[in-house]
Structure 1
Amino acid sequence: MSRVCLIEDDPIMGEALVERLELEGFSVVWHRTGSAGMRALAAGAIDLAVIDVNLPDLSGADLFARLLDERVRIPPSLFMTGYGSIEDAVRLLKLGAADYLTKPLDPTALIERLRALAGGKGAGTDAPHDTPLGISPAMRHLAGELARMARHAQTPLLIGGESGVGKEVVARHLHRLQCPDAPFIAVNCAALPETLIEAELFGHEKGAFTGADRRRAGVFEQAGEGILFLDEIGDMPLALQSRLLRVVQDRQLTRVGGSEPVETPTRLVCATHQDLTALVREGRFREDLYYRVRVLEIRIPPLRERPEDILWLAERFVADYGRRVPRERRVLTPEDRERLLHSKWPGNARELQHLLERACILGQGERLALDGALDIPKEQGLKAQAQASERAAIETALVEQDCNMTATAARLGISRKTLWQKMKRYGIKRIQ
């Protein structure tokens, strides 16, 4: 049985977490102040720690830093934080914290993460912090979904989301989980000439058309037992969709100009920024193909719906530039971070990446050249983004729990009273 040290000053949340953790098989010691929790951690005999960032006597970040200074063996530590403390949480990750979750808390996500930490090797600051897609609850949930989908290697997957959200990044992460030693082949259906796309997908035999001086394998064959990623599937010509449907159904293809079937063990992963259901209604996408490629489906939220990931991505992009150009290492200042958090990012992660690369190239010394690069409305501050995210989380939980207030409050990790107060503040109506 794993021993958990819970450091949380809120009596309602603390009591709820103790009850849930014990029901899940953990042994829990609960401390309501940072100093008491620090003494418990320094004494040892703790396997995991769950720490609130905002404590009455000292912050969770100060607590963690003091333990590091005193060279105390720190167990894998997961922090809980409100949206206003994201920067503190990111700093904690750099110091060696195992993870953090944002409030309103998802108890299921907490349990899953604690079980993963309890089953991992090593502890304390040596424990790896694996954040392949993002640190927001949405992207952590998506990463968990991909881990399950990786076990179904023959089932097609459809990835939806706005341009620039990172659909190929997600597909490549699935590839690392499912078949890292097999090929990953990416094709943009919108970038291929219509006259070449059939031969590109399915290959061709020698003499199949003018210029076909030898047999060529298409991307399905090239992918082998790996993953074929078809980006912008909504732009595939209608005439070609019937051939793709047969390949997906039969797991066989026939090369252009050929007659013998070729087995295709490849997993098909498709992506689109378009509404495929609307394309089906308009007759621009085959309904049978639509249902076949979306046996499994995920949607990547836009960056504006997961502000926690903005600074996480920014740090990675700036660090990547520093690795590529070691003589021009740039550093995000607090002012830079505030400005990045205030932007709406209509172009999502791709826009953020391109803007930061330009700011790094044009910067001087350690400073980035962000002046004039961001169009930030004054009212779009961190607090406004946090409130929008919290409201969205409450509305989603209400729908998931059929507007049951007790179940919704438990899902969010807050009391019924707090839930009513937040609903009143945001003007959320309880729909029966």
Structure 2
Amino acid sequence: MNAPARLCLIEDDPIMGESLCDRFELEGFGCHWFRQTGEARSALVEQEYAAVISDIRLPDGQGDELFLSLAEQGVPLPPWLFITAYGSVDRAVTVLKSGATDYITKPFDLDALIDKLRILVGPMDKEGEAAGALGVSPTMRRIGRLLPRLAAQAGTILITGESGVGKEAVAREIHRLDPASSDRPFIAVNCGGLTESLLEAELFGHEKGAFTGAVRARPGVFEQADGGTLFLDEVGDMPLVMQVKLLRAIQERQVVRVGGEQPISVNLRLICATHRDLRALVDEGRFREDLYYRIHVIHLRLPPLRERRDDIPWLVRQFLEAFVRATGERKQLPPETEHALMRHDWPGNIRELKHAIERACILSPGETLTREALFDEPLITEGEEGTAGATWTLSEHLQSCERAYIVGALEANGGHVARTAESLGISRKNLWERMKRLGL
């Protein structure tokens, strides 16, 4: 069992510190609580944390100064959330521009803080292990909780879903979770990208002289994956002749190389994946029914990204962190850019989102990702939305406009709630209620 994700809490108030520690541990997090910046600095240099939650004002210094100092020293820092009173909001906003993740103002909604941590760190299952390797949406969390059982017991699995939804990532996670085979090979093959003759040699291998160019014997992927996992992607595109040979290999757990006669036994987990409707292909005579039932023992359907938008901010964070590791350049996602990401339907799913973030990181000047750099085509402006082809209801459109307007007002006023409320002509209480309703 993996250790719980560990949080670093820097808070001098004994009541708040104890309350937060108790809640974090109830939610399945580990927590180290520090009351001063000095002791927290030593721990952050020497240990790894999944996230830091820090007050701004502390007895021996400022939390934001601790963050900036560690960042300047090149200390690898996890996601960092600041807790601040109204009077320190300007300091929190300033440090966000230097790479901090977010801030929350006192008094704050503890449930909202937990939800934010789950997005940053990944949700916890009942045993305290991170279950967020695939996403934080309810659907992906359910799938994540199921994978350890599949890794321990299932020998044949079918994963379906649109192109780009992460079918191979799920297959790799199943392989990783099996202690009996995680150190053995994971071999992936795209069945739709090879001709029939090449696919046969790729799957089953060939003997020397089996065909022109076969200057030496070569094992196929079934042999290469022996003891581990074989992932056959786009199995729905496989020719019917190859489907017969695949069925025989699955049933007998043996393969015969092209040009050979001797059966070779293999022991592996087989995971097949496709974006096609196999049942429909069976009805059309384009996919063998006996093969369909052979690989349809366990079926996982991965929903498209538009059906699990909660995963979008979580995925974006993974991509941004990968970009920082690769280039050393910090990039930030402003609210209006995140709003554009959440509104887009992502027909190419995770693959499209990843490419959009990579493109935006390269094309955006400075540290802030711009909306224009995310998409190849011009964005629909707020004024153009709701014309032909609109898919939002009027209520959703009005809520979107209200959210964007409040975000703009908050930015113009440096995140200061009282000043923002005054500029909008509403009370601070009214603004807080609107922000809570809109998820700000």
Name the TM tier (shorter chain): 0.5 to 0.7
CA RMSD of aligned residues (A): 3.6
Distance in 1 (CA, whole Å) between partners of 2:116 and 2:57 is: 14
- The match for 1:344 is 345
**Amino acid in the other structure paired with 2:144:** A
Distance in 2 (CA, whole Å) between partners of 1:50 and 1:90 is: 13
- The match for 2:48 is none
> Could you say if the C-alpha distance between residues 253 and 86 of structure 1 is closer, same or farther in structure 2, counting changes exceeding 3 Å?
farther
Residue 363 of structure 1: how far off its partner (Å): 1.3
Q: What SS is found at the alignment partner of 1:116?
A: coil
> Could you say if the C-alpha distance between residues 46 and 93 of structure 1 is closer, same or farther in structure 2, counting changes exceeding 3 Å?
closer
Residue 358 of structure 1: how far off its partner (Å): 0.6
Query: Which shifted more, 143-152 or 161-170?
Result: 143-152
1:41 corresponds to which of 19, 25, 30:
19
Identity of aligned residues (%): 49
Distance in 2 (CA, whole Å) between partners of 1:295 and 1:132 is: 24
- The match for 2:292 is 290
Q: Describe the superposition over 1:310-341 as per-residue Cα deviations: whole angstroms up to 9, x where unpaired.
A: 00001111111111111x32111111111111
Distance in 1 (CA, whole Å) between partners of 2:168 and 2:221 is: 16
- The match for 2:252 is 250
Distance in 1 (CA, whole Å) between partners of 2:309 and 2:23 is: 36
Distance in 2 (CA, whole Å) between partners of 1:87 and 1:359 is: 29
Q: What SS is found at the alignment partner of 2:271?
A: strand
> Could you say if the C-alpha distance between residues 280 and 301 of structure 1 is closer, same or farther in structure 2, counting changes exceeding 3 Å?
same
Residue 244 of structure 1: how far off its partner (Å): 0.4
Distance in 1 (CA, whole Å) between partners of 2:200 and 2:111 is: 48
Residue 131 of structure 1: how far off its partner (Å): 1.5
- The match for 1:92 is 117
Residue 302 of structure 1: how far off its partner (Å): 0.6
TM-score under structure 1 length normalisation:
0.63
Q: Describe the superposition over 1:70-92 as per-residue Cα deviations: whole angstroms up to 9, x where unpaired.
A: 9xxxxxxxxxxxxxx99865643
Distance in 2 (CA, whole Å) between partners of 1:295 and 1:95 is: 34
1:176 counterpart = 2:187: no
Distance in 2 (CA, whole Å) between partners of 1:44 and 1:279 is: 54
- The match for 2:322 is 320
Q: Is the 8 A contact 2:187 2:229 kept in 1?
A: yes
**Amino acid in the other structure paired with 2:147:** L
Query: In terms of Rg, which structure is larger?
Result: 2
Q: What SS is found at the alignment partner of 1:158?
A: strand
Q: Is the 8 A contact 2:131 2:141 kept in 1?
A: no
1:116 corresponds to which of 127, 131, 142:
127
Q: Residues 227-246 of structure 1: matches in 2 within 5 Å?
A: 227-246=229-248
- The match for 2:211 is 209
- The match for 1:147 is 148
Q: Is the 8 A contact 1:224 1:264 kept in 2?
A: yes
Distance in 1 (CA, whole Å) between partners of 2:168 and 2:175 is: 10
Q: Residues 32-431 of structure 1: matches in 2 within 5 Å?
A: 41=19, 48-49=26-27, 91-93=116-118, 99=123, 113=125, 115-117=126-128, 129-153=130-154, 155-178=155-178, 179-326=181-328, 328-371=329-372, 373-374=374-375, 375=379, 378=385, 384=396
Instruction: Flag the structure with more relative contact order, 1 or 2, with Cα contacts below 8 A and sequence separation at least 6.
Output: 1
Q: Describe the superposition over 1:199-234 as per-residue Cα deviations: whole angstroms up to 9, x where unpaired.
A: 110001112112212111000001111111110001
Residue 99 of structure 1: how far off its partner (Å): 3.6
> Could you say if the C-alpha distance between residues 254 and 291 of structure 1 is closer, same or farther in structure 2, counting changes exceeding 3 Å?
same
Q: Is the 8 A contact 1:86 1:308 kept in 2?
A: no
Q: Describe the superposition over 1:87-130 as per-residue Cα deviations: whole angstroms up to 9, x where unpaired.
A: 8656434887x748xxxxxxxxxxxx3x313xx6xxxxxxxx55
TM-score under structure 2 length normalisation:
0.61
Structure 1 gaps, min length 5:
1-34, 52-63, 71-84, 101-112, 121-128, 388-432
**Amino acid in the other structure paired with 1:357:** E
> Could you say if the C-alpha distance between residues 190 and 86 of structure 1 is closer, same or farther in structure 2, counting changes exceeding 3 Å?
farther
Q: Aligned pairs, how many?
A: 302
Structure 2 gaps, min length 5:
1-12, 30-52, 60-109, 400-440
- The match for 2:37 is none
Q: What SS is found at the alignment partner of 1:323?
A: helix
Distance in 2 (CA, whole Å) between partners of 1:45 and 1:231 is: 43
Distance in 2 (CA, whole Å) between partners of 1:49 and 1:329 is: 30
